[in-house]
Amino acid sequence: MKVLVLNSGSSSVKFQFYDTSLEAIKGGSEKQLAKGIVEKIGEKTSIRKIECNGKPPYKKEDPIADHTQAIRTIIDMLSDSEYGIIKDKTEIDAVGHRVVHGGETFTHSCLIDEKVYDKIKECIPLAPLHNPHNIKGYEISRDLLGKTPHVAVFDTAFHQTMAPSAFIYALPYDYYEKKRIRRYGFHGTSHRFVARRVGRLFNLAKDAFNVITAHLGNGASIAAVAKGKVVDTSMAFTPLEGLVMGTRCGDIDPAILMYLQENDGVNVAGLNKVLNKQSGLIGISGISNDMRELEKAAAENNARAKLAIDIFCYRIRKYIGAYAVAMGGVDFIVFTAGIGENSHIIRGEASKGLEAIGAKVDEAKNKSLNGKEGVFSTEDSKVKLCVIPTNEEILIAHDTVEAVSGLL
């Protein structure tokens, strides 16, 4: 089955194209045929890029007016005789869509029919910056590809196994019942992929181990997965709660917001800008939200860059310790995403003191694993510390095959 995976954002559409099947998923033999992006949609100069197996990469800069033209461009690139990989769009057997928010309605991926489509639209108030663009990607590709089946894969779905004691806020209960204010969690597809990958790497059934998964990128979250089910996760009602991030503050005292309103006259839009765009690593350091730049600055004795890194890593350690207790013990701790996969400095700092829960770092192994899959704990460590590159797109392809096959 040839599956097109779409991640439709506000000004870009990322895509990957896979040849896979139920047998290939079981054996790990699926093939990525192509990947690419159409970005800067609606600007004077948009960018289209594609890389197909056995073909030279293609890039062109020209105006792409809207998402309809962008997705049509993706199909045209995939079927181009020079740099594409298929003869025409009829070779696309199914489409998998990343959907950020599924609320409490969706606990797993599913085929999109009219009922599902309507329910996804009902979740727009919970993710107003993301769901509308995800929906638009579905609407356009549905119209362009006729009867091709489409599958929604939700960032929030994996976390819906949390107990009420973990997802209910200590607010008036009506806020949950009437306004759906609760902890949902995000990055679920990434957390699910690396948790599943642990089972494959160590030949363990998913109910045979506890794992803490740390997705560390410009957006960052951590999840406690006990016997295949999420017990807790750091992102919550929005992606703002939890770890320190590139430009987001993570956990803060909510009374700070009232203080800023009362003393500085900061309105809701201003608070949103501060918390989501001007805080986190960029806010502390005053330099950048890019960890690579902060590591360089810290090495040159920039005190605020070092402070930003220290706060980032301390918050990770604090969550790891809490989640180890919440699960009654942990067997694996996994670092993934841009920072988690590529910074041995952050992995090392975030793992300091974890000897208290049985995790010991092998520094040489840690330094050798940037961008690679492997274990960087010592031989006598009771808890295995791992680097596992995430691959949300291939999991979306897997779910698409399984949903189309009637297994979800």
Active site amino acids: 155
Type of residue at 211? V
Determine the Cα–Cα distance for residues 258 and 167; give it in Å rounded to an integer. Answer: 24
Element (H, E) at 70: helix 67-78
Which two tokens mark 136? Answer: 């638009």
Torsion sign (Cα): 394, 135, 128, 276? positive
Contact by Cβ (8 Å): 140, 146: no
> Scanning the structure block, which residue is given the tokens 């019942």?
177
Contact by Cβ (8 Å): 103, 123: yes
Contact by Cβ (8 Å): 7, 15: yes
Which two tokens mark 250? Answer: 């993570």
Determine the Cα–Cα distance for residues 408 and 29; give it in Å rounded to an integer. Answer: 21
Type of residue at 298? A
Determine the Cα–Cα distance for residues 129 and 132; give it in Å rounded to an integer. Answer: 7
Which two tokens mark 388? Answer: 């596992």
Torsions phi, psi for 201 (to 5 deg): -65, -40
Which two tokens mark 352? Answer: 């300091």
